[in-house]
Every structure is written in C-alpha cells, then in structure tokens.
Amino acid sequence: MSGKGAILSGYRLLTGLLEPAAAGLLLWRRRRGKEDPTRLAERRGYPGVRRPDRPLVWLHGASVGETVTLLPLVARLQKRGLTVLVTSGTVTSATLLAARLPAGVIHQYLPLDVPRYMRRFLDYWRPSLGLICESEIWPNLLVEARRREVPLVLVNARMSARSFARWYKAPRTSRFLLSCFESCLAQSQGDAERLAQLGAPRVSVAGNLKFDVPAPPADADTLAILDGLTTGRPVWVAASTHPGEEEQVIAAHLALKPYLPNLLTIIAPRHPQRGVEIEALAEANGIALARRGAGQMPEREAELYIADTVNELGLFYRLSQVAYLGGSLVPMIGGHNPIEPAKLGCALLHGPFVHNNAEIFAAFDAGGGAREVADAQGLAGAVHRWLSDPASARQAARAAAQTSAELGGALNRTIQALEPLLMRMALGQRDGAA
C-alpha cells in the first residue's frame, strides 16, 4: 500500500482502535430504530445466511436510491446464471429490497467500515466480482478487497463538484483508493472528468442507470381503492420530504385551499418513521388528515394524506398529477430522484438545492417536464397553475416521460463494459469444475 498516504493509514488505525465504539454505535442506532435488531450481527461482518457454493457477484448500494438503481443490473446478472449478493446500509433499503429483489438473490447489510468487520465479511462471502454503486468509497472495504484480489468496478459512478473539492485536498489518498477499482463507469462526462482527475483508472461514461429502472410497482387492488376515493379531486404529492420541507408543503397546501377546495395533498416522507411527527405538525395547522401508517384511508374529509410506508411511492405517483421531489427546498440533501414520477405521468417540481442530481434535473427542466420553485409561495403557485390547467400538466408530464426515455440505455452499456470481467468469472467457474 505504498503511496496510500498518512490520512488513509491514520483512518485504518483509528477505525481499528475504535471497534468497541462501533459496536456501541450499532446498539445506539438500534434503540433509535435505525438498525434491524434481528440482523445486527451482519453490521459486524457476520453472515446472516449460508453462502452458496458457487462464484458470486456482489453489488452494493448505500440506501434506497442506490439499491433501486441496481435492480435492473441484478436481474440481468441473475439471468446469466450468476449467484448475486446485494448489500445495503439502511433498514428502509432492506425492507424495499425484500419486496423487489428477484427470488434467489441474497441480501445482507454491509458491515460498518471497521477493518475486522470488513475482513470477516469478505472472507466469508469471497466475491468473484464487486460492483459498487455511485460514490460508496469506504477505505477499509477497498483495502481489504484489494488484498484479496477482488476485482471492483464503480458503477453508475458519480463525483459531484462538492465531493471533488474535498477529495482533491487529499490527492495521495484519493488516488490510492480509486486505484482499487478496475474501472469506473460514470453517469456523465462531468463525473468522468472529475474521477479521472482524482486518479481513477479506466474511466468511461456509461450513462445513468436510474433511467433504466422500471417504474415502481403498485398493488392493483390498493390502487383501485385509492383511485376510487380520490376520483374528481386534484391530487399532488410531495415525495421523499425531509424536516423543514413538510412545513413548506403544508404552507403551500393552506395557500391553495381557497382556490382548490377539494385538494388532496399527499406527503410521503423520506423516512417513514417521521409520520407521527408530520401528523402533529398538520394538526397544529388545523388540517384534516389521514395517515397510512395508522391504517387510515384518504376519505373525502381528509385534506392531507401522510404516506408513511415503505415501497408504496408507485401508488401515490399514479394518483397524482404533480409531484414535488423532496430534499430540494432544504440545503444539504441535494434533491431526490425525479425519474420515477416522470415515468408515471407526473409533472415535476423541485427546489433550488439539487446538487446530487443536478444534471438530471437540468435535463427535465430543459425539456419542459419540470420547474424549479424557491419556497412555499412558489410551490403553491406552481401546483395551482398545473392543477387548475390539467392540459398544461399533461403536457409537462409527457415532456418529463420523453426526457426519461431519451436518456435511457445505461444498462446495456454497463453490461457491455463488464463483459470481460464476467467472461473471466465464467472461465474460472469452468476451470474450477474441471
């Protein structure tokens, strides 16, 4: 590991020394509902299920957005007869994957980035290939995989300008860590240039896999019930919202009520456990509501529906004419993925803070499928314009769907780029059998 730099050496030493504190952190997170108490050992590298005795491809995505992005790639790899392991780091992503992973695909929680935890994980699962999604650059994971000669590829790779500025301050560390990847398949030309400048090897542009993810599913019976309850009402959804945004969505709803008396506003928080908190906020503003997490339905008297469940956004996008994408009216988050509602017939709204998906939002804005709003007042105005003029909303929704379709194709390009490594796996499997 010559040339790795003092920063990486210090990180490795510190995370090793702090292993007891890492165990304490997991217990604290379990008490806060951020860890699955029945699978806590996985976060320390212990397996939760038995490993099949076959070569295995390992894919990792941090949370919901990244793991959903990987689903088409998982399906393609499984169709080739490969054993597939998917890891993620959040309870919400595990819940979603339990519903959406193909039968036979294994899910495990990724261990915390502690040297012994990562050694334990890699020594048990022995992946023949690792595909790491977007920007999950965990030093101990990369170092331990390199020591075991596990080929890694950074797929759907992104490197934002903000992240680039941070990594650029530690050039030896960034160059060494990125050299642990056999190749990097970037979402965009800008991502590719920043990764190459930091020292990533064999960088190419494959496009954004998110455009090739199928629209989120919806239970047909539930959709029919909800559609019957909301027929004739103007409906919009604020999806994947964060603290500080629900207040603005509620303010927009109150501003819209005099003009759209039958309005139904749906709030689907990014973290469903916040449903009760949002319920209290709405009640403090005198808003009649129903909360899905409590088993309630949006009857006619409900003005607000709190969709505090997992893996049901497909329902609410299908019910809505307009979708506001959360994480964009508050700084730090950077805006959530607008592709899913675009595929399901929604006109799109977002705030100014979209740095995590800047190029995607720019494409939707340029195509006429999305508009930027600055605050609650702007949100109310934009929702009113589209809900009071359904033809205009449909036109914007068609434009959003067209932009989404035009930017697809990353899945095929990614598979093509991975072909030499997949062939190497297949040859190794035959040699082992012989």
Any idea which residues carry the catalytic annotation? Answer: 66
Q: Is 230 helix (H, G, I), strand (E, B) or coil?
A: helix
Backbone φ, ψ for residue 205 (5° rounding)? -100, 115
In angstroms, the CA 183 to CA 152 distance is 7
Q: Is 115 helix (H, G, I), strand (E, B) or coil?
A: helix
